[in-house]
Amino acid sequence: MHKTIKTVTVETIGRMAGSRRIFIWGAGNQGRGITSVLKEHDIVPSGFIDNSPSLSGRTIDGIRVYLPDDIIQDGDPPPFIIISAFFFEQEISQVCLSKGLKKDVDFIHYSSLKPRDYSIEISGSCNLRCISCPRGGAPDGLDSLRMMSFENFKKVIDKLKQQEPFVRNIQLYQWGEPTLNKHLPDMIRYAGSRGIRCAISSNLNLRVNYRKIIESKPEWLRLSASGWENKYEITHTGGRWPLFLKNLKTVARLRQQVYPEMKIELYYHLYKHSIGKGLLKFETLCKGLDIEFHPVFAYLISLDDVLRYLEGGKLPDTAIDAQNKMLLDLDQGLEMSKKQAHLPCDAFRSILINPDLSVSNCMMFFYPEGNRAAGNFLDESIERIMDKRKSCNLCKRCMVYGLHRYCGVYSTFKPDLNSLAGQVAGENR
């Protein structure tokens, strides 16, 4: 099921808010992008709202960050809130409703402002073969060395700027390692010159010029790890712990020296081997480097493999290996996903543009077979691309099992860090 979203304009926001203070709930990449659009129309938010205590009291783009309880209090009139944390829209909406706020009166959803998100895969390759990722079990010839050219990237940005006024944030990755593209700093700078902020991700296992990258001012850097010292390399397959640790400290230092406003977050994948003392050590390390630390349960990220499994096929050996190391059972997640099959697909709003300019039907599927909505993003209208995606057979197969809710379901599992930190790590526990 794909829901139709009614788009709200900046002018509508001004009328809805009236004389009330405006707050953006979510101080991440999307919240900052929405803020920049509002500022262009002489609407300056009174602050960000964010659940992260580490962000409370900080200033981002000249705007202070508050905890929810600091803002949502009994009073008349209530503030006007724009929920910018898309994947937590429903959760935050429930909080607002519980406080007596009314939807489309006192708060609105990010999706009504910006019905589509964009990811531009600038690198068709990755230097690691993580076993929970589809690249871990992909045939050797599938890993394309194709990189998006700087000229094509500029054309994509120009089209987005012309046709999507609320697109002020893009991510330059999905399945590839963006630092492999030598044009990465130029791409970030060009997008910035057109008013679009870039989020990047990296496994930090390359010897590249991180200073040059950070000087180009990416808005957000997402990192990942899954174990301390030699255990890091078990599931970040092909990675080297000493190089990762060195580069982690380097980017943290360069962020402070060059671009303190850049957001760095590390997603720590929880496996049987990455709990215990290693979990505590990573938390302490990130705190000392002023990096946001997000422990999350690991799961199989390739929906190609999971859908094949649901349809009676066998998981690749690498995926079976990963599943045996995970704390949460695959069938448990799939059972919960099935119960949400009637809910819409969150990934449908995301458009993935590949290095060769083709457009995927779904960014959560890795293999190209049956997963192409357009051969060239520049040659087709965005409306035509979205229409093709609505009739995609891959979507129909996925939704039968509720697989379109799979990634969101895993985000609802909240790890008990005190319990996990106290356990002894081990692959076969």
CA distance 191 to 154: 8
Output the pTM of the full model.
Answer: 0.84
Q: Is 291 within 8 Å of 244 (Cβ atoms)?
A: no
In order along the chain (429 residues), what is the average pLDDT of each group of 10 residues? 55 86 87 83 90 84 90 80 82 90 89 84 94 83 76 97 85 96 98 94 97 96 96 96 98 97 94 95 96 94 93 94 94 93 88 96 93 96 93 93 91 86 73
**Can you tell me which residue has the tokens 């001012």?**
217
Tens digit of each residue's pLDDT (9 = 90 or more) over 62-92: 899 999 988 987 667 889 999 987 667 888 9
* H or E element that contains 118: strand 117-120
DSSP at 79: P
What local confidence, expressed as pLDDT, does residue 5 receive? 43
Tens digit of each residue's pLDDT (9 = 90 or more) over 279-333: 999 999 999 999 999 999 999 988 999 999 999 999 999 999 999 999 999 999 9
Nearest to 29 by CA among 245, 173, 207, 183: 173
**Can you tell me which residue has the tokens 């203070």?**
21
Tally of CB atoms within 10 A around 49: 29
What local confidence, expressed as pLDDT, does residue 294 receive? 92
What local confidence, expressed as pLDDT, does residue 278 receive? 94
Structure tokens at 271: 């496996």
Compute CA 257 distance to the chain's CA centroid, rounded to the nearest angstrom: 25
What local confidence, expressed as pLDDT, does residue 429 receive? 44
CA distance 223 to 127: 15
Nearest to 31 by CA among 66, 79, 4: 66
Pairing of strands 47-49, 63-66: parallel
- Cis, bond preceding 260 (omega within 30 deg of 0): no
